[in-house]
């Protein structure tokens, strides 16, 4: 793939993706946005995510289209020997930069690594499972086992709170994409591919370990508990404003903390709190210890001002302040930026500006079967623009015959025979 006359990093690499829901489709899409040709291989009739909510007015899955941007779609009858043979040939194609396979499908002998490797010894194979032993699990069940839902929400709440972002799926998808790139690089350097496995459970537990959750509890440190919107280990929380909005305020560094105190006129009150408690508030550990008292001191200042006034006051400060917005407000802001980009003009100013989104990260896209919608491209950028603005998702199965002809070299006659053998249908 070439973007603005510049080849993307994975140009020429072909990836076959055989999976559903979030992690593996996300991994494939990330590779596509880096320039790889990604072929989504589905069973005839579609995988379980083909019609997943949300759907457009005509019933097309917006979810499926969003996670499959920039790919090609092949649908084969994988219950049929002829269909499986074609799928195997696609996965293990002998072209130098082909033979990269992403999947979350397990328990299929014909897709076992040792079987696929008999067709291509240097196969790059990345496989995602739910649990380390290959058991089934999804983000929501993995999350329940991590303890995170019992650290989320108001401190006096006695029930678990699930967050709406499938964080373990996202982390697993990004790690799967990284694994594929690492193995492909290894193959280019040594001639040897490889098989890497990851599970949602391992991704979740390792991530918590990297962030210190495991170490602190194993050392008997247990001060990270459910605490509303307070930021652990420093000072940060939300405040209501005079117009009924809420803003998130974070002061991590000494400079940010000093500016927050100065702007809100609380120097004397904070000094008195330090003197009365003996806690050093220049240390973020001290600010965390006295977070409730500090929040109580700050609350009247924010309550006396509108969110717009708060934003204006802190516009040039180091303190991190952000008004809470609805998803609709985010979409409205991004739509304005995307429309301005299309027309090559600056977005109109308003009281609630769009976030800092690099040009091309969000753009208008004409998606077949759905219509014109906002879509996301790559978050990687160069020269102030996304390296890969979004491109449309394929029509389900729409590339089956053209791709079989192109990649496997099947003639019309051979395609007809495969169709007659039940490998795929024309509809």
Tell me the C-alpha distance between 331 and 348, whole Å: 15
- Report which of 119, 131, 116, 134 is spatially closest to residue 195, judged by C-alpha positions: 116
Q: Cα 293–294–297 angle (5° rounding)?
A: 90
Catalytic residues: 169
The radius of gyration of the chain's CA atoms, rounded to the nearest angstrom, is 26
User: b vs e for 122-140, b when ≥16 Cβ sit within 10 Å of the residue's Cβ?
Assistant: bbbbbbbbbeeeeeebebe
| Token reading at 84 | 């499986």
364: which strand partners? 374
């Amino acid at each position: 793939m070439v973007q603005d006359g510049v080849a993307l990093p994975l140009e020429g690499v072909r990836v076959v993706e055989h999976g559903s829901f979030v992690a593996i489709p996300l991994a494939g899409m990330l590779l596509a946005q880096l320039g790889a040709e990604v072929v989504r291989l589905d069973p005839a009739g579609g995988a379980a995510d083909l019609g997943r909510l949300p759907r457009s007015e005509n019933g097309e899955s917006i979810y499926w289209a969003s996670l499959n941007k920039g790919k090609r779609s092949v649908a084969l009858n994988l219950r049929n020997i002829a269909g499986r043979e074609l799928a195997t040939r696609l996965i293990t194609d002998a072209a130098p930069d082909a033979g990269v396979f992403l999947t979350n499908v397990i328990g299929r002998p014909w897709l076992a690594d040792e079987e696929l490797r008999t067709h291509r010894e240097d196969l790059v194979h990345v496989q995602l499972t739910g649990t380390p032993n290959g058991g089934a699990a999804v983000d929501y069940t993995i999350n329940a086992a991590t303890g995170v839902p019992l650290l989320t929400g108001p401190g006096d709440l006695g029930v678990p709170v699930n967050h709406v972002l499938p964080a373990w799926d996202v982390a697993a998808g990004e790690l799967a994409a990284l694994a594929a790139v690492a193995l492909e690089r290894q193959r280019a350097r040594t001639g040897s591919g490889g098989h890497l496995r990851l599970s949602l459970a391992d991704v979740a537990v390792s991530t918590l370990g990297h962030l210190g959750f495991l170490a602190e509890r194993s050392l008997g440190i247990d001060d990270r508990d459910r605490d509303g919107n307070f930021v652990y280990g420093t000072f940060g929380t939300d405040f209501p404003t005079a117009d009924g909005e809420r803003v998130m305020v974070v002061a991590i560094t000494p400079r940010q903390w000093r500016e927050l105190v100065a702007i809100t006129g609380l120097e004397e009150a904070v000094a008195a709190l330090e003197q009365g408690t003996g806690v050093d508030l220049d240390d973020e550990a001290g600010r965390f210890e006295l977070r409730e008292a500090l929040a109580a001191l700050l609350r009247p200042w924010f309550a006396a001002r509108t969110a717009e006034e708060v934003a204006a006051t802190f516009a040039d400060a180091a303190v991190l302040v952000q008004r809470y917005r609805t998803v609709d407000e985010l979409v409205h802001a991004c739509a304005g930026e995307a429309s301005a980009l299309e027309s090559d003009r600056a977005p109109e100013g308003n009281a609630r500006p769009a976030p800092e989104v690099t040009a091309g990260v969000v753009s208008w896209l004409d998606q077949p079967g759905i219509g014109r919608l906002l879509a996301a491209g790559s978050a990687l950028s160069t020269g102030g623009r996304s390296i890969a603005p979004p491109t449309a998702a394929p029509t389900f199965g729409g590339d089956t015959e053209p791709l079989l002809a192109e990649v496997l070299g099947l003639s019309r006659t051979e395609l007809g025979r495969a169709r007659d053998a039940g490998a795929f249908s024309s509809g």
